[in-house]
Amino acid sequence: MGKLKIAVLASGRGSNLQAIMDAIAADKINGEIVLILSDKADALALQKGKDAGITCDVILPSACGSRDDYDKALTERVASSGAQLVVLAGFMRLLSPVFLQRFPNQVVNIHPALLPSFPGLHAQQQALDYGVKVSGCTVHFVDMGVDSGPIIAQTPVFVDDAKNADELAAKILVEEHKLYPQVIAMIADGRVKVCGRTVIIK
């Protein structure tokens, strides 16, 4: 099996991107990142990608007229990279049908809660406000909804003594950095199959 071509979309600091790059460098993922794309020119993720010698690009929303125009530009750029898997790593925009129809069951996201609990923004704060004892992270395929696509894998994290959202986020992030590369490795090995809402891992 050839190396899986991966595009990573990121808006922020890129710690998950770094974990994925490290796993590729350690031969734990049979893949290569062909493109890192951001909607923010100053995203730390871009610097991390450049430091690793990976092609990085920015498409600014302000450079595109409408949301549709933006997503068309995004779709074209990702398609032209030859990516077979699109990895959302802290990409802070919702993807429209234009994009998702071009990459069916080929877009994955990581969310810092045990879905379907606490989708959307501020998941760690939502979990604390609710008073749950266990939260965690979820890797899922992306569909038209918000954090609602078929779940591939989850890791639970005990809330324990986390006093605020930042402390809980830090505990969850440790597990994100393990889970996301593991899932991408399984996809690269052809072990992940979607059957309706159920994801089967061979």
Q: What are phi and psi of 52, to 5 degrees?
A: -90, 5
C-alpha to C-alpha distances, 11 to 8, 47, 85, nearest whole angstrom: 10, 12, 18
Tell me which of 111, 122, 140, 177 is the catalytic residue: 111
Displacement of CA 13 from its chain's centroid (Å): 13
Asked if 67 and 93 count as a contact pair (C-beta separation under 8 A), the reply is: no
Among 54, 59, 159, 176, binds ligand GRF (CB under 6 A): 176
What is the Rg, in whole angstroms, of the alpha carbon atoms belonging to the chain? 16
Q: What are phi and psi of 91, to 5 degrees?
A: -90, 120
111 is catalytic: yes
**CA 151 – CA 7 distance, rounded (Å):** 20
Minimum CB separation of residue 144 from ligand GRF in Å reads 18
Residue span 105-134 as binding mask against ligand GRF, x where in contact by CB under 6 A, dash where not = -----xxx----------------------
Minimum CB separation of residue 124 from ligand GRF in Å reads 8
Pairing of strands 4-9, 85-88: parallel
Residue closest to ligand GRF (Cβ): 90
Residue span 129-168 as binding mask against ligand GRF, x where in contact by CB under 6 A, dash where not = ----------------------------------------
Decide: helix, strand or coil at residue 107: strand
What is the footprint of ligand GRF within residues 28-57 (CB under 6 A)?
none
**CA 147 – CA 94 distance, rounded (Å):** 10
Sign of CA pseudo-dihedral 173, 179, 182, 186: negative
Query: Per CB under 6 A, which region of 13-21, 25-33, 46-54, 98-106 contacts ligand GRF?
Result: 13-21
Among 15, 84, 96, 106, binds ligand GRF (CB under 6 A): 15
Query: Per CB under 6 A, which region of 57-65, 70-78, 104-112, 114-122 contacts ligand GRF?
Result: 104-112
Applying CB under 6 A, the residues found at the interface with ligand GRF are 10, 12-16, 89-90, 110-112, 173, 176
Among all residues, which ones are annotated catalytic? Answer: 111
